[in-house]
Amino acid sequence: MKKVLDLRIILSERVAANCVKLVAAPVEGPLPECKAGQFAQLRADVPGAFLRRPISIHDIEGDRISFLVQEVGEGSRWLASRQEGDIVNAVLPLGHGFTIGDEHSALLVGGGVGVAPLLLLGRRLKAKGIKPTFLLGGRSAGNLMCLDAYREVGEVLITTEDGSLGERGFVTQHSSLNSKLSTLNCLYTCGPTPMMKAVARLARERGIPCEASLENHMACGVGACLCCVEQLADGHNHCVCTDGPVFNINDLKW
């Protein structure tokens, strides 16, 4: 069930040059059940941010929920500057998350702050006995965040565009990708659209099921305003907030 609730910040940690991890817990009552790939609409209490900000659920441990907030504009900067004890109002959980099937191993490909929902997904996969491997990319070492947390959950492969960490290049150029694709039977991706499109292309070539998480600009977050639409393969406009944000790539026009 979706709820409007106040979250109290327990921990605020800068995890990249332009990104902060917030760990929070409800001020009252339990955290509603959340699926990997779902998001929260967080209110930024600052004049420059009129609407809520849709932020992926990064991780959940008990009643603790965490988010990676990339500083883009005034709203996200306000959220990223929250400190321990501060209150942030949230609407959650929203959207439908990743599908967890009966695959035996999965590759989770993330870029930039798009790595956020993949940690909870990895945890949930692992809990079901599915082995997650993360393939994470960034512009440089400073853009890759929370790597230890991912390593606790599964194997982590890294690429950076400048070669400052892991292999040099894009995620789709990683030297282990080929061998991984021949053994795994599920792909999930979240990050910049060109990266997700490249991952989708690979998935199609190999006939591997693949889901991608989109990030269109939203207003309501609950399927009422029809602002965040994506035109899907059926030719119709669908709300990313409710029909997504996670889509099977076969439903996308990619």
Partner 1 sequence: MDLSTNIGALELRNPVMTASGTFGYGLEFEDFVDLSRLGGIIVKGTTLNPREGNPYPRMAETASGMLNCVGLQNKGVDHFCSEIYPRIRDLDTNVIVNVSGSSIDDYAECARRIGELERIPAIELNISCPNVRQGGMAFGVTCEGAASVVKAVRKAYPKTLIVKLSPNVTDIAEIARAVEAEGADSVSLINTLMGMAIDAERRRKVLSIGTGGLSGPAVKPVALRMVYQVAHAVKIPVVGLGGITTATDAIEFLLAGASAIEIGTANFLDPSVTMKVVAGIEDYLQRHKFNSVRDIIGALE
Could you list the residues that contact partner 1 (CB under 8 A)? 1-4, 43, 47-52, 91, 216-231, 236-237, 242
CB 57 to partner 1: min, Å: 17
DSSP state of 215: -
CA distance 215 to 1: 22
- Length reported for the chain: 254
CB 92 to partner 1: min, Å: 11
Nearer CB in complex with partner 1: 129/217 = 217
Dihedrals phi, psi of 228, to nearest 5 degrees: -95, 20
CB 232 to partner 1: min, Å: 11
Nearer CB in complex with partner 1: 181/219 = 219
List helix spans (H) across 57-184: 74-80, 116-127, 147-153, 177-183
Nearer CB in complex with partner 1: 73/163 = 73
CA distance 66 to 79: 12
CB 5 to partner 1: min, Å: 11
Nearer CB in complex with partner 1: 203/220 = 220
Q: Tell me the residue type at 28.
A: E
Phi-psi region of 75 (alpha: psi -120 to 50; beta: other; left: phi over 0): alpha
Q: What residues form DSSP beta bridges with 39?
A: 56, 94
Nearer CB in complex with partner 1: 207/235 = 235
CB 115 to partner 1: min, Å: 25
